[in-house]
Amino acid sequence: MVSIIERVGKALEPLMLVMGLVSPLATLPQLYKLFFSHSEHAAGLSLITWVLYAFIALLWTTYGLYHKNPTIWVGNCLGFIMYVGMVVGIIVLTGGTF
Amino acid sequence: MVSIIERVGKALEPLMLVMGLVSPLATLPQLYKLFFSHSEHAAGLSLITWVLYAFIALLWTTYGLYHKNPTIWVGNCLGFIMYVGMVVGIIVLTGGTF
């Protein structure tokens, strides 16, 4: 168990910037479903959840800029854009929900 | 602009562990909609998105444990649990989607 953690942890070290981009990019299929293929199911998406995701990504972006650390701010800035897209879609398509 | 970044960045420094918990906890309303109030809209949720969120949270948890850094692993471990909950709900309720 400990050796798995050490091996994975060490392997991830040079991949941090890439890892920070995966979650934002992973949001694309969710945006596609919301805006194009499954808009009639927008009510199943939580506005609270996506507003908070956007808010936290914005705070991390600010924190990363403050520390001049692109590993933090690049991914979070992209995340912020994606999550705001979700928020806009949910509001427009449902007219407001929780 | 620069002064806003500096003020917010400095203010966030002691709040990092708490900030790491906000996104996982923000997932609770989305889980509630999926499992209880809006299960009929499960097809609007992207399985790809939530599987990748879970996978990335697991990698960050491992990375945080490797560095013995609870600021990283606590929030991501909780996030992993939440996102796996989303994945399970989407699979059970839709029988499989993208």
- DSSP conformation letters of A35-68: III-GGGGGGS-HHHHHHHHHHHHHHHHHHHHTT
Q: CA-nearest residue of chain A to B25?
A: A49
Res B16: pLDDT: 84
Can you say whether the dihedral through the CA atoms of B52, A46, B25, A65 is positive or negative?
positive
Query: What is the per-residue pLDDT across A48-94, written as a single tens digit (0 to 9) for each?
Result: 999 999 999 999 999 999 999 998 899 999 999 999 999 999 999 99
User: How close does chain A come to B13, measured CA to CA in Å?
Assistant: 8
Query: What is the per-residue pLDDT across B31-53, written as a single tens digit (0 to 9) for each?
Result: 999 999 999 999 999 999 999 99
pLDDT at A1 over 80: no
Q: Which of A46, A55, A62 sits opposite B5 (nearest CB)?
A: A62
Residue type, A36: F
Number of inter-chain CB pairs under 8 A, A vs B = 119
Enumerate domains of chain B plus CATH numbers: 15-94 (1.20.1280.290)
Of the candidates A21, A26, A43, the residue with the CA atom closest to the CA atom of residue A34: A43
Of the candidates B14, B35, B23, the residue with the CA atom closest to the CA atom of residue B85: B35
Provide the ipTM: 0.92
